[in-house]
Structure 1
Amino acid sequence: MKIAAISLGLLLLPWAAVACEAPVSVCEQTAKGSFPLIRKGQPVAVYVDSGADSAVRHAADDFQADLGRVSGNAASLITDAAKVKGPVVIIGVMGQSPVIDKLIADKKINIDNVRGQWEAYTQIVVDNPMPGVRQALVIAGSDRRGAIFGTYDLSAKIGVAPWYWWADVPVAQKPEVYVTAGAVHDQPKVKYRGFFINDEEPAFGNWAREKFGGINAKLYEHVFELNLRLKGNYLWPAMWGKAFNDDDPRNTVLADEMGVIIGTSHHEPMARAHDEWHRNKDKGVTGGKWDYNTNAANLRTFWKGGIERIQRGDGALRDNIITLGMRGDGDEAMTEGTATQLLETIVADQRKIIAEVTGKPASETPQVWALYKEVQDYYDQGMSVPDDVILLFADDNWGQIRRLPALKEQSVSAKRNGGYGVYYHFDYVGGPRNYKWLNTNQIEKTWQQMDLAYASGADQLWIVNVGDIKPMEYPLSFFMDMAWNPQAMTPEALKAYPERWAAQQFGQQYAQSVGKILTRYSQLAARRKPELMDVDIMAQYRDAGRLYYDWHDLSQRAAQTATNLPGDYSDAWYQLIGYPVEATENLYDLYWTVARNRKAADNNDAGANYLADKAEALFVKDAELSARYHMLNGGKWNHMMSQTHIGYTNWQQPDTQVMPNVKRVPYGIYHVQDLDPVSIKKPEGKGFVESNGYVSIEAEHFARKVDGRDAQWTVIPHLGRTLSSVITMPQNAAPSDPKKGMRLEYDLTLNKDADTELHIYLVPTLDTRGQGGLKFGISIDDGPVLVQSFNLIPDQPDWNKAVSDNAHVVKVPLKGLKAGVHTLKFWRIDGNVVVQKLVIDTGGLKPYYLGPQQSLMAQ
């Protein structure tokens, strides 16, 4: 029997487009050879071997419950093959399930495509699988997680979203559900895929303590299930003042029982939470200074205890990836300057401990070394890393990957045995500002960076910092879906993803409208994160009203969509869409209102008093919106939106929300009509015209493009601040020689002779190869190519501004241009140069907060 591979592109199509057509798809009508999963409201039985792995049993139990959620009636779970009657779903692992092994031996299922593969599965409809059974749907895994992912994949197909518990997404009941005949197989392209719960106070921490009594196994059971339903297999647990293995010894046992691989963060080596160093002085560790130069013996004892603790009863380690290395106490640099030799010694000693405890060579235990912040500098300067250890590169904490394998390291012959991975961020505590309140991540940006990572050979481990988990539901789903198969997440699949995800949460009827809201929200939120907004920024914008109106328009669209949704979607809607949109609109309204209040007061305008009252009401409304979130579903999510976000004055959050200062005047002329937003005309048009002393062109509006032999220009809609961005693919292609002509051409007309300046708006990116910057070329007409270079360095002023503005502007003088028609050419040299807009200033631009401002950066 021919088995079809599952295509992410196929899954991105609307559900109705594939139902009843593709092999092993789900539909609500029967067809020839279909398997009746639910008939007249009655679900089929689920069979799993009595001796099955505990992780497979967990997944089978969940699938049994999912059938009940969809059908409205309880499904039975059978563990004795002799008791199987009628149609049945069979779940098991090849080589471990007698029932599945007999089907293989009888040639009733073909496992050629999945045998021996990592976390692979096949789903197949089998006729007459065993005596007395007319038909079965078999989910066979190459290993235990393969069986798990094949099972949860079917759960999602029948309508149980991975976020059914974490976002209260309703499960629509269906009296008839059938699975079409045939077979499919699938497996992940990135070996380890997961997320990191971090920066989890006060929101996640207070929520967990109230609802579960602590950061314990009762809580983590929900976390593990979510991870697995998202087809992830790896977790860095919460770590602010917490210790996964010490807080509740059941945590690590349950993770292993459910099939989740546990790791520790970049500064917590050897299966030890850093907090344990300060809390366990009475448990056999003498403590002292966190310093390997002066306290190595105590640190080795501490680390050995960490490895011993994750052993099973038979002495083998539970599923873990051991983090190596060492940073300073409190997640700081270990020493001043480069400590390469010391770090190499530490890692060598840690590997000796691993070998001693396991009784096997260290190379047989999965390990990772996170090249985070200064540790990457050690690597760049030649630090020796054991070949079997995964090298985990990191982004700059703001979504730009700092380093990736060099071109020579991407070849099969030169690739390390341990491979490479990426540690990415959707949440961060640090400069230039914390951002941990709401999702402010564009999936288009995540795609561009992770596509570059995969193309560059970073395919062993992907992990993302998601803060409190909520409200990162949307970008986390995307990250995990892309990690499963980065090759299938093409630009076309990326474009379709918002609608696909919206359909999974709210149904196909609302998918298009909700998908558009998700995309627009993500773009507006990424322009400038809410924590980076304040009154002064609003006061500096010439077109400040546009900032507010963009959010106001989106909020109105969201409100209209919400009125059309069935009532049982209200909680999910408010969590996933309603609150983020309305709360951010309110924040912008607050800052804009205060900015106008201060201007009015300075002009002795009594309208300032009205605006002061309004601002204070908006501040109160912010708290009311959070309170509504906390009351959803009987208070299920209390504390989750308690992160402070108003009143930042530096990188660190204020302890409490701080109302911006407003001014009142005792007398004056009252001009409220001129100050209230309802009387201000919304800006019209797109603004991409030649006028007022400049020409503004969206990067995708090229007149012509010339692709290269090894790379092609590709438009990525919505990436960046405005319409879209243009990149070249494959993103890891070698640098181009301008003489070979790969370029974009833009036709434009100048009204007068002028010494001009070209402003090139780029989506921020970093030189992942460490070659001193990224290059591109600019020319006018048939003039020479002017090679430009930029090199954003984390924590430096240019980088601070670029990540704050979500744009980096390169300015190129173009003197002596004559009035008339010209052709501007943008030449590819390096990859990972992402251009979103080009503006030629002929004297009309003035210094605003972000170059030519919203009048040019408009939609």
Structure 2
Amino acid sequence: MLKQLSFFVLLFAGLIINAQTAHNTLSLLPDYIQHTAEKGSFRIAANGITAKIVVDPDDWKGVIRAANDLGDDVRKVTDVASPIIADVKLVPGAIIIGTIGKSKLIDQLINGGKLNVDAIKNKWESFVIQTVGDNLVIAGSDKRGTIYGIYDVSEKIGVSPWYYWADAPVKKSTNLYVKAGRYLQESPKVKYRGIFINDESPSFSGWSNKHFGGINSKVYTHIFELLLRLKANYLWPAMWGNAFNEDDPMSPVLADEYGIVMGTSHHEPMMRSQKEYTKRKDGIGPWDYVTNAENLKKFWTEGLERNKNYDNIITMSMRGDGDVAMGKGDDAENIKTLKQVVADQREIIRKVYGKDPAEVPQLWAIFTEVQRYYDAGMNVPDDVTLLFCDNNWGYIRRTAPVNELKRKGGMGLYYHIDMNGGPWNDRWINTTTVPKLHEQFSLAYKSGIDRIWIVNVGDLKPKEMPIDFIMRYAWNPDAISADQTSDYMTDWATGIFGKEHAAEIAELVSRYSKYNLMRKPEVQDPNIFSFVNYHEAERVQKQWQDLTAKAEALEKKIPKEALDAYYQLVLYPVKASAGVAEIYLAAGRNNLYAKQGRVSANEYANRARELFELDKKLSARYNDFIAGGKWKNMMSDVHLGYQKWSMPKENSLPPLNEVTPLASPSLGVAVEGSTDAWPGTAELPQFDVLDKQRYYIDIFNRGKGQLKFTAKANKPWIRLSATKGTIETEQRIYVDINWEKAPEGRGGGLIEINQNNTKVPVVINTLKKATPAGKTDYYGGFSGEFSIPANKFSLKTAGDNAEWIVLPGLGRAEACMGIYPTTAQSSTPEKAPRLEYQIFLPESGSTTVLLGILPTQDINPGRGLRIAVSIDNGDPVILDARKGYHDEFKEYTAENLNRSKNLKPLPDFGYNYALISRGKPRRTEVFDNQRWLDAALDVKKAGIHTLKIYMIDPEVVLERIIVNPNDKYPSYLGAPERN
């Protein structure tokens, strides 16, 4: 796939303009670094000699500091540093660095006609890198523009932005040249791009205390540098037990010098951290504006006075003390109070800054209950940025309202890739995929949310990959399309590990995050996946085990200098995630087998315990050994044994059961499709000639000693993989059908399992009917439930104003189907984009169709979240994903509990968070990363039919279709694909 990025490269003579394509999806500019000299190229390093770097001593401190970083980065790559010269005289053969209007060096070149900066002058964070005579010039439109240009060179010569935070190895080279030309970087599409260090205890705080004596300026300078190397500019500092401005007064000073815009979190107004209030609470009084306004205004005024000379975005309004809703629950009263709060805060800004508040960047976070206030009509002045939020688990709650598109302050997004709180914690490991990030951030950006993107990243580690993607994507969301997300992953891996194993690493990281997103570790449960239907648990376990095997095998091929980075970014998250998933699978099988009386239940209990010990060892290796103990304490989050949203005190195993064997051998039988064991009904699911299924019978020993058994079918066309055996614990027998000899129509038979005088009958049902002739491309069968991946359509038809497109890697399976553009107008079925699927239905009558869609939030309340479905020429049935979720006291319950949500709306976080209430596993559509919509469709006659899916609202993303859901055989993922 060709990269959809083009850049104008103006040759230094200023006469020719060429369009060049970026070499990868990480870089905004083409790769101008070479390792051999060409005509006109600039030498950074060759033959042990490095170019000098010249910077005006009166330029911004952050520029001078970054120039020194570049000099040292040259050393990292070549072993010889580039000397730094602080002067205003041009030096032949040197790298000239400076900011327009701040650097005499750059202004000399401009005034002398050697450097044309018209394209970047007075622009936001833009820069040009150009060969000028025998010099290389890095000129920025402003402080950060210059710094970004510096770090662009650093990354291209081989120093990853993650050299410190992930121990990414430096790509060594002795010769470095810049190809002759002019490389211009335009301003970012998203103005403020940053991260929020949050939920920082025990890991980040423990690490900082160990290595830096606390969360102080020594820690923050590393974060500032990372952000700048990623071309980001904005930070919300750690706030759980910390006060950025007061814990270390040098922190805000250095942030400003580095060039980082500082803010405070969504509930910390006026540059005041919560901890600054709590330690003064006795003197200030209650956090209640109705009763204590004057003291709070004084507190806020002092905060602004302290920080007014720095580059900030001021959080406005207020929530209750401790990041909770304020007041006594009366929204109208709260809105009235908050309007006064904002008015008074604006007056404080006017007095402190001595100018119109409209000239001072501010934001209002529309978070949790505040969205209700916004929806009820509360608003803030037009110059204040509206910061919309996601639902805490990565699905945005609003696209940009049309009436806000001309807003002077614009709109922003607060987004979580880490969560401590409702609906449940999601902290320990990365559970976010790049395709999901692309889909959600593209949805936000295309609608007009482009002033601020701030991302809750928890401890920063181990969220390196999603941080990298979001910060790069924010610069130009048009530069990476949905079908380039895999290219990004390969380029990300290449940037850290080199090309040789990049594709393999990209696949490992993509897969582990995808599997985690299918079921995040903190909400794992022993009963999520089915152990008796569709081999679901086995398939999930095999996915994890195969991934682990690949990661372990690849580790042996990784160069020594890259092993620390490989463990942090690949091996640990793969193995540890797989271990947690398998612990719950082992516990689930133990619970089931103990219920059935199987002695082998004890083996699975032991397996869970082994994996629990392995989890400890993996964390210990991370904390104590990699990078010489550099990351001590960083991997300290408790991640096993969650019973409620908050972190447990310690890791613990799910409940395990031990089975005491009977004194003598005793026959037990369990069959596929049932959680029961004999004594009781033993009936296998139906066999049919179309799918030619193979099912199993488990014969097990409930007691001590050897058990001899025989198995015999009463029909010659019933085939058994074994007819006798001697077992200590258990043996699996497979059953299939010789269809050439099986009777026409519905048939049946018995398999008799014998042990001494014990006889267990297993019922067999078959169906042999004619299958569709001449049709090879269809889904369906005789045996009820079947599924269709959304991207396996037979026909795709565009609508009047939109079309369905494949979104690779999104969702649980290979891909999803989404709408392009997502800004399209809602449609009606006759004008809508349409997908068609050929299906075989063996009977007429009512057929249930389940549409599995992503749990998109109520992002545009004015129009719904609708999709339509029909069969053949039948009338389309329009389904609204919001139906049944708006009434705060109403539950939505589908017949199949294993697919239902049974949700009670929680308007503070969205409408789909409540846990089901019948003693079943933790299940919601957000936890499941899937929402099911069902429709009953009328089938006129048996045979091949066309199932049609229509876009009604453009934000709905289709992941899977399940036809004829068979509630007798429930599962988490549904029947696997068959055709």
Query: How much does 1:278 deviate?
Result: 1.3
Match of 2:809 among 718, 722, 726: 718
Q: Does the 8 A contact of 2:26 with 2:472 survive in 1?
A: no
Match of 2:513 among 517, 522, 528: 522
Tell me which moved more, 399-408 or 498-507. Answer: 399-408
- Structure 1 residues 396 and 677: CA distance shift in structure 2, 3 A: farther
Letter in structure 2 aligned against 1:510: H
1:448 partnered with 2:439: yes
Tell me which moved more, 503-512 or 660-669. Answer: 660-669
What CA deviation, in whole Å up to 9, does each residue of 1:545-578 have, x standing for no partner?
2221111111111122221111111110010010
Match of 1:115 in 2: 121
Match of 1:3 among 10, 25, 33: 10
Q: Does the 8 A contact of 1:24 with 1:125 survive in 2?
A: no
Match of 1:834 among 957, 960, 964: 957
Match of 1:436 among 408, 422, 427: 427
Match of 2:689 in 1: none
Query: How much does 1:85 deviate?
Result: 4.5
Match of 2:684 in 1: none
Match of 1:314 in 2: none
What CA deviation, in whole Å up to 9, does each residue of 1:325-371 have, x standing for no partner?
10001100012131211111001101111111111111111111111
Match of 1:809 in 2: 932
- Structure 1 residues 603 and 744: CA distance shift in structure 2, 3 A: closer
Match of 1:629 in 2: 622
Length, aligned pairs only: 827
Q: Does the 8 A contact of 2:599 with 2:729 survive in 1?
A: no
Match of 1:325 in 2: 317
**Structure showing greater relative contact order (alpha-carbon pairs closer than 8 Å, 6 or more residues apart):** 1
- Structure 1 residues 680 and 550: CA distance shift in structure 2, 3 A: farther
1:67 and 1:136 map into 2 onto residues whose CA distance is 17
Q: Does the 8 A contact of 1:196 with 1:236 survive in 2?
A: yes
What CA deviation, in whole Å up to 9, does each residue of 1:443-481 have, x standing for no partner?
111111111111111110001000000000000000001
1:180 and 1:418 map into 2 onto residues whose CA distance is 40
Query: How much does 1:541 deviate?
Result: 6.6
Match of 1:146 in 2: 145
SS of residue matched to 2:68? helix
1:208 partnered with 2:208: yes
- Structure 1 residues 606 and 777: CA distance shift in structure 2, 3 A: closer
Match of 1:574 among 567, 572, 581: 567
The CA RMSD measured in Å over matched residues stands at 2.6
Q: Does the 8 A contact of 1:9 with 1:488 survive in 2?
A: no
- Structure 1 residues 846 and 185: CA distance shift in structure 2, 3 A: farther
Letter in structure 1 aligned against 2:555: A
2:548 and 2:34 map into 1 onto residues whose CA distance is 35
2:364 and 2:729 map into 1 onto residues whose CA distance is 55
1:7 and 1:419 map into 2 onto residues whose CA distance is 32
Query: How much does 1:74 deviate?
Result: 2.0
1:179 partnered with 2:178: yes
SS of residue matched to 2:408? coil
The TM-score with structure 2 as length reference comes to 0.81
Match of 1:376 among 361, 367, 371: 371
- Structure 1 residues 825 and 676: CA distance shift in structure 2, 3 A: farther
2:733 and 2:231 map into 1 onto residues whose CA distance is 49
Query: How much does 1:7 deviate?
Result: 9.3
Match of 1:607 in 2: 600
Q: Does the 8 A contact of 1:693 with 1:845 survive in 2?
A: no
Letter in structure 2 aligned against 1:574: Y
Query: How much does 1:799 deviate?
Result: 7.0
Q: Does the 8 A contact of 2:367 with 2:388 survive in 1?
A: yes
Q: Does the 8 A contact of 2:9 with 2:184 survive in 1?
A: no
SS of residue matched to 1:537? coil
1:509 and 1:172 map into 2 onto residues whose CA distance is 13
1:87 partnered with 2:80: no
Query: How much does 1:8 deviate?
Result: 11
Match of 1:130 in 2: none
2:426 and 2:9 map into 1 onto residues whose CA distance is 49
What CA deviation, in whole Å up to 9, does each residue of 1:571-607 have, x standing for no partner?
1001001001000111122122222223333344333
- Structure 1 residues 113 and 380: CA distance shift in structure 2, 3 A: same
1:424 and 1:200 map into 2 onto residues whose CA distance is 17
- Structure 1 residues 774 and 604: CA distance shift in structure 2, 3 A: closer
1:587 and 1:113 map into 2 onto residues whose CA distance is 53
- Structure 1 residues 14 and 634: CA distance shift in structure 2, 3 A: closer
Q: Does the 8 A contact of 2:25 with 2:480 survive in 1?
A: no
What CA deviation, in whole Å up to 9, does each residue of 1:640-696 have, x standing for no partner?
111001111111121111123323233246769999999999xxxxx9764632332
Letter in structure 2 aligned against 1:150: G
SS of residue matched to 1:245? helix
Query: Rg: which structure is higher?
Result: 2
Letter in structure 2 aligned against 1:568: E
Match of 1:502 in 2: 493
- Structure 1 residues 773 and 675: CA distance shift in structure 2, 3 A: farther
Superposed counterparts of 1:259-270, under 5 Å: 259-270=259-270
2:936 and 2:397 map into 1 onto residues whose CA distance is 29
1:232 and 1:807 map into 2 onto residues whose CA distance is 32
2:30 and 2:660 map into 1 onto residues whose CA distance is 75
Q: Does the 8 A contact of 2:548 with 2:578 survive in 1?
A: yes
Superposed counterparts of 1:95-174, under 5 Å: 95-127=101-133, 135-174=134-173
SS of residue matched to 1:814? strand
Letter in structure 1 aligned against 2:275: D
- Structure 1 residues 227 and 295: CA distance shift in structure 2, 3 A: same
Match of 2:720 in 1: none
2:476 and 2:25 map into 1 onto residues whose CA distance is 16
Match of 2:388 in 1: 393
1:40 partnered with 2:47: yes
Letter in structure 2 aligned against 1:37: I
The TM-score with structure 1 as length reference comes to 0.92
1:6 and 1:803 map into 2 onto residues whose CA distance is 47
What CA deviation, in whole Å up to 9, does each residue of 1:762-805 have, x standing for no partner?
01101212226311211211121211111265454577611111
- Structure 1 residues 601 and 703: CA distance shift in structure 2, 3 A: closer
Q: Does the 8 A contact of 1:725 with 1:834 survive in 2?
A: yes
Q: Does the 8 A contact of 2:531 with 2:538 survive in 1?
A: no
Match of 1:367 in 2: 362
Query: How much does 1:384 deviate?
Result: 2.7
2:39 and 2:701 map into 1 onto residues whose CA distance is 73
2:311 and 2:205 map into 1 onto residues whose CA distance is 25
Q: Does the 8 A contact of 2:22 with 2:30 survive in 1?
A: no
What CA deviation, in whole Å up to 9, does each residue of 1:290-314 have, x standing for no partner?
1000111110011001101113xxx
SS of residue matched to 2:628? helix
1:8 and 1:470 map into 2 onto residues whose CA distance is 35
Superposed counterparts of 1:396-415, under 5 Å: 396-410=391-405, 415=406
1:858 and 1:226 map into 2 onto residues whose CA distance is 47
What CA deviation, in whole Å up to 9, does each residue of 1:378-437 have, x standing for no partner?
111111310111110001111111112223543xxxx10000000000011123321100
1:761 partnered with 2:756: no
2:814 and 2:412 map into 1 onto residues whose CA distance is 31
Match of 1:666 in 2: 660
Match of 1:562 in 2: 555
- Structure 2 residue runs of 5 or longer lacking an equivalent are 1-7, 12-16, 666-699, 703-725, 735-777, 886-904, 916-923
SS of residue matched to 1:194? strand
Q: Does the 8 A contact of 2:786 with 2:975 survive in 1?
A: no
Match of 1:12 among 3, 6, 24: 24
Query: How much does 1:492 deviate?
Result: 3.4
- Structure 1 residues 823 and 665: CA distance shift in structure 2, 3 A: closer
Q: Does the 8 A contact of 1:608 with 1:663 survive in 2?
A: yes
Letter in structure 1 aligned against 2:273: A
1:25 partnered with 2:32: yes
Match of 2:286 among 286, 289, 294: 289
Identity percentage of aligned residues: 42
SS of residue matched to 1:846? coil
Match of 1:132 in 2: none
